Amino acid sequence: MQATFPYAGRLYTYDPAAPLDVSLPLAPGADQVSCFWAEPVQFDTIRVGSFVGSVALGGSTNYQRVHVTPHGNGTHTECYGHIAPDPAATLNQCLRRFLFVARLVSVAPRAQPNGDLVVMLADVQAALASQADGSVPEALVLRTLPNDPAKRSRHYSGTNPPYVEPALAHFLVAQHVQHLLLDLPSVDREEDAGQLLAHHAFWRYPAQPRCGATITELIFVPDEVADGLYLLNIQITSLELDASPSKPVLYKLSPMPPPPPGP
Task: Report the alpha-carbon distance of residue 144 to residue 221 in Å, rounded.
Answer: 9
pLDDT of residue 262: 63
How big is the chain, counted in residues?
263
Asked if pLDDT for residue 263 goes beyond 70, the answer is: no
Under the banding of pLDDT at 50, 70 and 90, the label for residue 109 is very high
Please state the separation of Cα 173 from the chain's center in Å. 17
Rounded to the nearest integer, the mean pLDDT of the chain is 96
pLDDT per residue over 194-232, tens digit each? Answer: 999 999 999 999 999 999 999 999 999 999 999 999 999
Average pLDDT of the segment spanning 244-248: 98
Average pLDDT over residues 244-255: 97
Q: Confidence class of residue 1 from pLDDT cuts 50, 70 and 90?
A: confident
Distant-in-sequence, close-in-space partners of 129: CB < 8 Å, separation ≥ 6: none
Greatest CA span in the chain, whole angstroms?
Answer: 79
> Other CB atoms closer than 10 Å to residue 250's CB: what's the count?
25
Q: What are phi and psi of 247, to 5 degrees?
A: -135, 85
pLDDT mean over 251-257: 93
Bridge partners for 76 per DSSP: 217, 245
What are phi and psi for residue 2, nearest 5 degrees? Answer: -130, 140
Task: Write the CB contacts of 89 (distance below 8 Å, at least 6 apart in sequence).
Answer: 79, 80, 81, 209, 211, 242
Rounded CA separation 118/109 (Å):
5
Q: Looking at the domain 3-24+72-255, which fold is it?
A: Glucose Oxidase; domain 1 (3.50.30)
pLDDT of residue 160: 98
How far is 94 from 84, CA to CA, in rounded Å? Answer: 13
Taking phi first (over 0 means left), then psi (-120 to 50 degrees means alpha), and beta for anything else, what does residue 111 get? Answer: beta
Distance CA 159, CA 165 (A): 18
Segment holding 243, helix H or strand E: strand 243-252
What residues does 234 pair with on adjacent strands? 248
Task: List the domain boundaries for the chain.
Answer: 3-24+72-255
